[in-house]
Amino acid sequence: MNKTLQYVLGGAASLLVLLFLIKEAQGNGDFKIFLEAANMIKGGKSPYQEWIFVSEGNYGQYFYSPLWAVLLIPFTYLPAFVPKFLWLGLNVFFLYRAFLLMQRMSGVEKGSKGLWIIYLLTFIAGVRFVLYNFNMIQMTIFILWSGLESLWLIKREQPLKGGFLLALAINIKILPIVLIPYLIYRSEYKATIYTFLFYIALLFLPFLFIGWEFNRELLSGWWSNIDPSRTDNLIETEIGQHSLTALIPALLTTVESTINLPRQILHLDASTAVQLTNIFRLGLVLLSIWFFRWPPFRKAESRSFEMRELAYLFLLIPLIFPHQQKYAFVLSIVAYFYLICYLYLNRTASKDKRYYWVFGLVILSFVLMTLSTDGVVGREFNKITQHYKLITWGALVLIPALYLAKGKAVSAEK
């Protein structure tokens, strides 16, 4: 392509991204909750257990760590547009870096002819969740990047840096904690110890600015919000929630919904439904051992095997944790990247039924997760898809796809 044309297209794309960020930064989203929480802490008040105004008829609670709110206090002195715009700009970098890290970790050569096709198809597969993260000015793209970046640093024998970044991500939002057992399984003991030590330090770091007693009060309030034994973390009733705790109880027991359409297939008591949900959740966690392969405490066999197990781990996060909404499923991008690599790089090889099963499952997942957005099916039908938790079903469909996409190396290594 002519260099002048490249510059013109690059400039036009950059301008479109800039205009998009300006538009999104004018909204509120979850970042308004973060800034309000920072304001409360600045004024000596706990933001936990408080309903924070977001927009007309829309309130939310603060579920993140005291440290994250304390870090945002300096930005409360600026017009709200500025920190929101800066965070959205960082999210563009986080997303770009996440794609670059997936390419490096999978072993696909940077100059590979089909890499841009793999990137494009992966982005299309996850575009609904990417856009929702920007619209909500959310944290999950940061979680995606920080998880991949910390693992990449550890893989490159920088356990101190990797451990600190992973500890920071876990401190801000507990979701990446699933990576710690993985580090132990892969005998990354130094990184595990650094992560643990940094995590403890970051829990107590805010006391330097807000005092010991106030920090302790905030930590207690934070735990009461994320406590997995809380009733609303056992059975989720809101239409916008998507995870096993939103899907399975609704199939097994009576769960209230704003949409009067049947979805209950058994009539168990709530306690039994919760127990069965936890058993299924535990089953998915234990299935990770199959993806990691036995015996434990050794390195992955190859880059492609490592990428596959990471794809499963990141997919697991929005499924097993409660209080997950659409934006959390941006983490499924890692699974889509792996599977699209598998399909593209093996497209010319002799194919067995397994290849076509993987292809079909990926398409089915894409239909359930991405094409069910209101921009495609309309607002009213989208509510029905959320009532039946099609996003969660679509994520579950990716698990057998990952199971089948094995054998031949996904990466360029032969």
Each residue's pLDDT tens digit, 116-149: 999 999 999 999 999 999 999 999 999 999 999 9
Dihedral sign, Cα of residue 72, residue 75, residue 80, residue 86: negative
**Mean pLDDT, range 330-335, rounded to an integer:** 98
pLDDT for res 179: 96
Dihedral sign, Cα of residue 310, residue 314, residue 316, residue 320: positive
pLDDT: which is higher, 367 or 53:
367
What is the C-alpha to C-alpha distance for residues 288 and 312, in angstroms, rounded to an integer? 7
pLDDT for res 282: 95
CB under 8 Å to 177, separation ≥6 — which residues?
170
Q: Around Cβ 318, how many Cβ atoms within 10 Å?
A: 25
Mean pLDDT over the full length of the chain: 92
Q: Report the alpha-carbon angle 69-317-124, nearest 5.
A: 95
pLDDT: which is higher, 227 or 1:
227
* Amino acid occupying residue 262: P
* pLDDT over 90 at 188, yes or no: yes
pLDDT for res 123: 97
* pLDDT over 60 at 408, yes or no: no
> Cα-Cα-Cα-Cα dihedral of 305, 307, 309, 315, to 10°?
-150
pLDDT for res 2: 67
**Mean pLDDT, range 99-109, rounded to an integer:** 91
pLDDT: which is higher, 302 or 100:
100
Dihedral sign, Cα of residue 227, residue 233, residue 239, residue 242: positive
Model confidence, pTM: 0.94
Structure tokens at 132: 């929702």
